[in-house]
Amino acid sequence: MGILTRFKDIMSANINALLDKAEDPEKMIDQCLRDLNSDLGKVKAETASVMAEEARTKRELDECTAEINKQADYARKAVAAGNDDDAKQFLAKKASLTSKQADLQQMYDAAKNNSTRMKQMYEKLNKDIATLEEKRSTIKSKVKMAKAQEKINDMTSSANSASGSMDAFKRYEEKANRMLDEANAKAELNAATESSSIADLEAKYDETPEANSQIDDELAALKAELGQQ
């Protein structure tokens, strides 16, 4: 029964463990489903063959058992009729069939055991496929959400980068404003200095004749007082 050896891993397969190891769960689950469906067809065919073997050996065993019972019945009838020689022949046939029955029983037990194991394997494989079918849509949805989240993360990173650029431009603007304010202040100081000089110069020439006459009179008075006239 090479099929039992070949597919023994199906009986112990752990779908969750396989998915955990997968680098790309979406591709892995599709490939796993293809493999399992392919195996399912092979297991199904072999299971049918083993079940047919079980049925055949059961039929032969039942036929042998029925024949043993028939020979025993004939032996009883021969004894009742007083034909011991006939009874011995029936009993000899019964003994030969009983030996054959033991062999047929072993063959049937082995066929039944194989059939049970194959049916368990077939049911396990069907269950695993159904589980994967359910998981496939869930996994694909999660993969889609993960990819969408990655895009959002990239956009957030770009937005953060743009925000950093805006902060830099703001600093540049503040520096430009500070430079402009300093230049304006210097210009204002320069204008104030120039205005003061002009004002002093203008005041020199703005002295009225009355002011000059008063000074001359005071000077003459001082000279008269000192006897310098």
Sequence-distant (≥ 6) Cβ neighbours of residue 18 within 8 angstroms: 28, 32
Angle (deg, nearest 10), helices 25-80 and 84-205: 170
Q: Is the dihedral of CA 220, 225, 226, 229 positive or negative?
A: positive
pLDDT in tens, 28-84: 777 777 877 887 888 888 889 999 999 999 999 999 999 999 999 999 999 999 999
Query: Considering the chain, what is the average pLDDT of its residues?
Result: 77
pLDDT in tens, 116-145: 988 888 888 888 788 778 777 777 777 677
Give the ranges where the chain is alpha helix by DSSP (H). Answer: 2-6, 8-11, 15-21, 25-80, 84-205, 209-225
pLDDT of residue 67: 95
Total Cβ atoms within 10 A of residue 115: 21
Cβ(53)–Cβ(114) below 8 Å: yes
Q: What is the pTM of this model?
A: 0.49
Cβ(113)–Cβ(1) below 8 Å: no
Identify the top-confidence range among 1-5, 17-21, 120-124, 189-193.
120-124
More confident residue, 214 or 166: 214
Which tokens go with 213? 């006459």
pLDDT in tens, 148-203: 777 777 666 655 555 566 666 677 778 777 887 777 777 777 766 666 665 666 66
Which tokens go with 86? 């006939």
Alpha carbon distance 173, 5 (integer Å): 78
